[in-house]
Amino acid sequence: MPYLSTSQAYLEQSAQLLQAYPETTRIVTKYNFPTNRRGNVIRAHKSQVRKNAKATDASSTTTPAQTSIATLTLKTFNPTTGICLHYRTNKAQEVGRLITSLGKLAAGADVAGLGLSAAVPAAGADVDMVDAPAEEVATPPVASKAQPQAQGQSAKGKKKGGKGKR
């Protein structure tokens, strides 16, 4: 059950999963605030420390460390095969686009029908790849690098979001 690094990869693979199992696959959208449980707080702190260590220069925006930022988690799950695709974001500007795309998925759109950019790596190999979704995550290195760090700094992620919008 991989967390995909870009919304585009998530939507494409979800489209393929829905195509393969249209009757049993469901999509869950979770909007939640972080809790104050001890484990959660520790994990958040650790990731913050790691991020700071990694990007000392890029953190010129000084991540505001607000009280609590909600996250939006999208999950496409097929119970019969146990395939579960995730995408997580905390950027408000993505919501509209994501929900609209979910509507297209619900209407039974295929990968091409999603209207995403033309960079579809292996549209023909949809039958094989549902077995091994992790391999398909081979997105360009720039994209996969920009997205996980986007938690704190939106400057980097923004370029990505702008590209994927149309």
Query: 158 exposed, middle or buried (CB, 10 Å; 0-12, 13-18, 19+)?
Result: middle
- Please name the helix (run of DSSP H) or strand (run of DSSP E) that holds residue 85, with its range, or none: strand 83-89
> Minimum Å distance from CB 50 to other proteins?
19
Residues 41-100 that bind other proteins (CB under 8 A): 61, 67-72, 89-93, 95-96, 99-100
138 binds other proteins (CB under 8 A): no
Question: How far is the CA of 44 from the CAs of 32, 48, 68, 110, 165, in angstroms?
Answer: 15, 6, 11, 36, 29
Check residue 32 for interaction with other proteins (CB under 8 A). Answer: yes
How far is it, in rounded angstroms, from Cα 18 to Cα 25?
A: 6
- Is residue 155 involved in binding other proteins (CB under 8 A)? yes
List 9, 25, 116, 130, residue binding other proteins (CB under 8 A): 25
Between 86 and 91, CB nearer to other proteins: 91
Pairing assessment for the beta strands 83-89 and 71-78 based on DSSP bridges: antiparallel
The distance of closest approach from Cβ of residue 22 to other proteins in the complex, given in angstroms and rounded to an integer, is: 7
The C-alpha atoms of residue 32 and residue 142 are separated, in whole angstroms, by: 28
Binding positions for other proteins, rule: CB under 8 A: 22-23, 25-33, 35, 61, 67-72, 89-93, 95-96, 99-100, 102-104, 106-108, 153-155, 158-159, 162-163, 165-166
